[in-house]
Structure formats: structure tokens, C-alpha cells
């Protein structure tokens, strides 16, 4: 595969009557840049410019950042029954002011705010922010459990929360053959952005995405 990408070749994947073409345009330059960045040019492990040198001088891979997941009081969201009607209205106003145009709140949905207790004084609260043709996003904030709420926005693209982890899964289009996923982990002080991946191009290779292509990874402990 690498040898074919490094030159002008016709590369195809065929399943039944369906054929996908893999372009090699620019691939040699990209692979050579990888070799250069890792210090592999002229070594036996180089992708493009192989040589007789060993790999003792190759840069080691960087360790993934460590995120220490903290315990939470509530593992799931539920009705925000701890707030009085006046506090609920004040909270909604505070959340909307902190999110700006990224969260178009609906005042006519008084029960839309959900909450989960994180610890003895802080809550995670959530409410719908936007809806599209095939996606929707919920806002997630860390707030004090009583006024002043002082909300800290985590995301307005969230789709779920479980046991200290906020998730966001969004389709790239209605067919769901492409999209992205995010994760934020509660470390006892804040929600840390711990993972981000895309599913590749919108080429109808597979429903739900053919693979995960991460640009942010973490070692969650």
C-alpha cells in the first residue's frame, strides 16, 4: 500500500459491484513529512526514504495526557427539582447569557432543564440548545447548587451524560456515514476535553462511519 501511494498507481477497493478509488495525490509528500518529523529519513523503518540506519534516533511517541476521573454523586441527569420557580428562571437566564447565540433557549419549556449533582456544592445542568434536520445539541454547564449560579459552559453540542462523562455525537449528514464524537471527563474540578474523533469522509463507506480518526486522545484513569 505504501509503495503504491508513493508513486502514480491506481488503488481500488472493490466489494461486489461497488468500487472505491483511493487517490495517491500528495501522499508521497505527506509520508515523507511523517518520516522527517519522526526522524526516520534514512532509517530501515522510513516510509519513503529508507536507508541502512537503525532507529535509535527516532523520536519516541508522546504519551497521551492523563485524565483522572473523579467520582460523582449522580450518575445520570434528572429533573432539576432542587430549584424553586424563581431560581429556575434565574438559572435559565444565566445559562443563556453565557452561551450566546450557540444556545437558542425555549422559555416555553420550563421542565427542559435537567441536573445531576457532581459534589456537595456543584451541579451539572443541561437543556436543549439547538435542533437541525438530523442533529441536536444540548448545553452542559457546571453551576453552583444555589445562587449565584456562576455557570461554566462545557459544550452546546452535547448528546448525553453518564457517570461523570459528557458525550457529543453528531452526524456529518443524514446518512450517518460520517460525523464526529467528543467526550469530556469530570476530574473533580472541571470537565476535561478528553477525546475527539471523526469518522472519515462522507463517502458512504459504512453506516455509522467506517473508522474512528482521533485528533485528541487521553488516558482516562
Read out DSSP for the chain? -HHHHTSS--EEEEETTEEEEEP-TTHHHHHHHHHHHHT-TTBTT-SSS--SB-STTSPPPPPPPEE-PPP-S-SS-EE-TTS-HHHHHHHHHHHHHHHGGG----TT-TT--EEEE-SSSEEEEEEEEEE-SS-EEEEEEEEESSSS---EEEEEEE-EEETTEEEEEEESSTT-SSEEEEEEEE-SSSEEEEEEEE---SS-SSTT-S--EEEE--EE-
Residue 147 pLDDT > 60: yes
Tally the domains of the chain: 2
Examine the domain organization and report whether 37 and 16 are in the same domain.
yes
Among 34-43, 92-101, 104-113, the range with the most confident prediction by mean pLDDT is: 34-43
Examine the domain organization and report whether 126 and 204 are in the same domain.
yes
Examine the domain organization and report whether 108 and 157 are in the same domain.
yes
Mean pLDDT, range 33-62, rounded to an integer? 93
Q: What is the pTM of this model?
A: 0.83
Average per-residue pLDDT in the chain? 91
Structural domain range at position 102:
66-220
Examine the domain organization and report whether 111 and 43 are in the same domain.
no
Amino acid at each position: 500500500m505504501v509503495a503504491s501511494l508513493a508513486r502514480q498507481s491506481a488503488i481500488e477497493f472493490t466489494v461486489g459491484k461497488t468500487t472505491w478509488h483511493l487517490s495517491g495525490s500528495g501522499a508521497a509528500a505527506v509520508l515523507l513529512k511523517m518520516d522527517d518529523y519522526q526522524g526516520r529519513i534514512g532509517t530501515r523503518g522510513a516510509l519513503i526514504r529508507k536507508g541502512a540506519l537503525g532507529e535509535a534516533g527516532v523520536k519516541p511517541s508522546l504519551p497521551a495526557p492523563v485524565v483522572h476521573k473523579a467520582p460523582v454523586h449522580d450518575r445520570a441527569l434528572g429533573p432539576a427539582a432542587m430549584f424553586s420557580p424563581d431560581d429556575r428562571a434565574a438559572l435559565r437566564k444565566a445559562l443563556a447569557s453565557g452561551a450566546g447565540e450557540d444556545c437558542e433557549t425555549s422559555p416555553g419549556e420550563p421542565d427542559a432543564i435537567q441536573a445531576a449533582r457532581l459534589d456537595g456544592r456543584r451541579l451539572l445542568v443541561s437543556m436543549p440548545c439547538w435542533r437541525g434536520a438530523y442533529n441536536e445539541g444540548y448545553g452542559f454547564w457546571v453551576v453552583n447548587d444555589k445562587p449565584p449560579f456562576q455557570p461554566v459552559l462545557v459544550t452546546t453540542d452535547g448528546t448525553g451524560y453518564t457517570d461523570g462523562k459528557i458525550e457529543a455525537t453528531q452526524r456529518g449528514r443524514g446518512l450517518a456515514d460520517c460525523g464526529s464524537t467528543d467526550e469530556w471527563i469530570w476530574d473533580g474540578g472541571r470537565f476535561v476535553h478528553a477525546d475527539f474523533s471523526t469518522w472519515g469522509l462522507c463517502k458512504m463507506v459504512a453506516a455509522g462511519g467506517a473508522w474512528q480518526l482521533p485528533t485528541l486522545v487521553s488516558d482516562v484513569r
